[in-house]
Amino acid sequence: MEEKKANDIFKEFKEHSIAEFFKKNKQMLGYAGLVRSLVTVVHEYITNSIDACEEADILPDISVKLIQAGDNRYRVIVSDNGPGIPKKFVGRALATILAGTKFHRYIQQRGQQGIGASGCTLFSQVTTGKPIHVESRTANGESYSCNVSIDTLHNKPIVTDLNGTDRTTNGLTVDAEFAEVKYENSDHGVYEYIRRTALANPHVQILFTDPEGKEYRFVRAVDSMPTRPKPTKPHPLGLSINDLLEFAHKSDSRKVSSFLMENFARVSQGKVEELRDIVEDMLDKDPGRLEWGDAEQLLNAIKKLKWMAPDPSVISAIGEEHIKLALKNILNPDFMHVVERKAALFYGGIPFVVEAAIAYGGAAGKKIEEDIYEGNVLRFANRVPLLFDSGSCAITVAAKSTQWKRYGIDMESQPVSVFVNVSSVYIPYSGVGKEAIAQEDEIIDEIKLALMEAARGVQRYIRGKQQLGLETSKYRTIERYAKQLAKDVSTLTGTDGSEVEKKLETLISKHYPRASEGHSEEDDGDAEGSTGAAVSTATKEE
């Protein structure tokens, strides 16, 4: 009886494709809520464009256009000047979930999973029933257009209406329609996402056209490409037993010793000999024959040795000067202080770098009403803005645990923007939607140290500003009585009143030199770390 019941149950047993899974669980890809869904679409296309341009060593020039096509329905048109997509790869690149050039590579990139652009195609398809339209031209002159959709049952691309075009510029244009989305000019909308992208990517130029036809041009602040991150190998301290076995069973090496040196960073002949003293003849085994117990023993031996940290050159951070230029370009603060920490490790072996900046005054912070502001935290991972899921993010946790008032900073009433970017070969996102960094202790600690260092720089500026204000007030008060005092002294002594007044002014100026010279707050800001470089600001063209 029980066996019959089990057989009845397993009649419904089926295997499903990953595309089918995400079709039913699109919220896991970030398609949850009307505003967030539209931002997710724009995010995926922009990050793909920037990554492609950077790999081809091209300064990115990106156009984003939104056209309302009905209630909660928009066309999204994104064009770039990148290398384009070869015709034979267009279906797999834009309509195959977990396929792409990123997931299998151990190199710092904005995308990590091979889901993004294909997820957009899937979302367009399930909300409108339409394919996306693609136009592309590659460096070898291959120019074409086509429509692309997904066979969700088999996670296979469907490419139709493939035709040649007379496109003369290299790059890619994607034109797709989406329902269940909404444009909103808010702190979590498309405009804010693009503005923050320009902040963290000063080498990128973006033209954004909103649904009303208004153009917002974010001009690049620097004309040089960021340093390309180097491909690297996993550090042995970051391995699990299962990781080690998978690498070993795929290896063509004849011995475990050569397998370790060929597949992992910082493993030298000297380290192999140190391991040999602990695990003896295991290093002469065929790696393809390693079993769980062998791998466990080998990893325990690895943990007993002292290892060099991963090479920090595999991380491409924004850089202090570029952050200053970007903040000046977009926020134009009265003062800023930028900090870049040295490379650190999490998971025992994955390198990461934290950059933090605090901008004060200007367009920093969030304007509530006229002359009423509050601070805000701008979160980034590998230069990509994180607008949602802030409560669960390591950056938010670190920012909330910082005692801002200790540094004279009031996040509830001052125009302050806190900028944090975490760069790594692998960002430990807390979800597939890639909107929050997992709360790893090592990452939180590094962010806190960076924020405290930046806050100390702002503290010096605020104290100087307060002191200058106090001196100016005293200077003006005393100056106000100088003329009357000079007249009284002249009457009592019979001396020339104008001469007495000049001497009094000289005496006052010696006591309050900054106030008398009329130093501006902006000058003090430059002295404490702000940048005075002249850079084009983001402009709005009506």
Alpha helices, H only, 134-291 = 190-200, 241-250, 256-263, 269-279
Is residue 91 classed exposed, middle or buried when 0-12, 13-18 and 19+ CB atoms within 10 A define those classes?
buried
Average the pLDDT over each of 46-60, 418-432, 492-506 and give the range with the smallest value.
492-506
pLDDT band at 539 (very low <50, low <70, confident <90, very high): very low
Q: Name 422's Cβ contacts closer than 8 Å, sequence gap at least 6.
A: 352, 353, 354, 380, 381, 382, 394, 395, 437, 443, 447
> Domain 236-304 adopts which CATH fold?
Helicase, Ruva Protein; domain 3 (1.10.8)
DSSP 63-86: EEEEEEEETTEEEEEEE--S----
Instruction: Give the 3-state secondary structure of 369-414.
Output: ECCEEECEEEEEECCEEECCCHHHCHHHHHHHCCCHHHHCCCCCCC
Neighbours of 425 (CB within 10 A): 25
Query: Taking the alpha carbons of 98, 103, 109, 112 in that order, is the dihedral positive or negative?
Result: positive
Q: How far is CA 135 from the centre of its chain?
A: 28
**How far lies 469's CA from each of 204, 219, 226, 305, 516, in Å?**
39, 36, 41, 58, 12
pLDDT at 209 over 80: yes
Residue pointed to by tokens 């430059």: 526
List, for residues 361-378, the tens digit of each pLDDT value.
999 998 888 778 899 999
pLDDT at 17: 66
Q: What is the mean pLDDT of residues 83-112?
A: 75
pLDDT at 175: 98
Buried b (16+ CB within 10 A) or exposed e, 444-456: bebbbbbbbbbbe
pLDDT at 101 over 60: no
pLDDT at 468 over 60: no
pLDDT at 462 over 80: no
CB 439 within 8 A of CB 390: no
**Facing residues of 9 across strands?**
none
CB 389 within 8 A of CB 28: no
Q: What is the mean pLDDT of residues 194-206?
A: 94
List, for residues 29-85, the tens digit of each pLDDT value.
778 899 999 999 999 999 999 999 999 999 999 999 999 999 999 999 999 999 999
Using CA atoms, how far apart are residues 219 and 204, in angstroms rounded to an integer? 8
> Domain 18-218 adopts which CATH fold?
Heat Shock Protein 90 (3.30.565)
Percent of the chain with pLDDT over 90: 55
Number of helices followed by number of strands (H, E) in the chain: 16, 17
**How far lies 45's CA from each of 118, 157, 202, 395, in Å?**
10, 18, 18, 24
CA geometry: angle at 420 spanning 414 and 421, to 5°? 160
Selection from 356, 343, 532, 329 nearest residue 457 by Cα: 356
List, for residues 318-331, the tens digit of each pLDDT value.
999 999 999 998 89
CB 274 within 8 A of CB 282: no
State the average pLDDT for the chain. Answer: 84
Using CA atoms, how far apart are residues 67 and 30, in angstroms rounded to an integer? 21
pLDDT band at 520 (very low <50, low <70, confident <90, very high): very low
pLDDT at 521: 41
Using CA atoms, how far apart are residues 456 and 465, in angstroms rounded to an integer? 14
Q: Name 120's Cβ contacts closer than 8 Å, sequence gap at least 6.
A: 41, 44, 45, 132, 174, 176
Q: What is the mean pLDDT of residues 118-137?
A: 94
Higher pLDDT, 144 or 280: 144
Q: What is the mean pLDDT of residues 354-365?
A: 93
Instruction: Give the 3-state secondary structure of 403-466.
Output: CHHHHCCCCCCCCEEEEEEEEECCCCECCCCCCCECCCHHHHHHHHHHHHHHHHHHHHHHHHHH
**Facing residues of 359 across strands?**
336, 417
> Domain 312-457 adopts which CATH fold?
Ribosomal Protein S5; domain 2 (3.30.230)
Q: Name 151's Cβ contacts closer than 8 Å, sequence gap at least 6.
A: 19, 157, 158
Domain boundaries, the chain: 18-218, 236-304, 312-457, 462-536
Q: What is the mean pLDDT of residues 184-191?
A: 92
pLDDT at 463 over 80: no
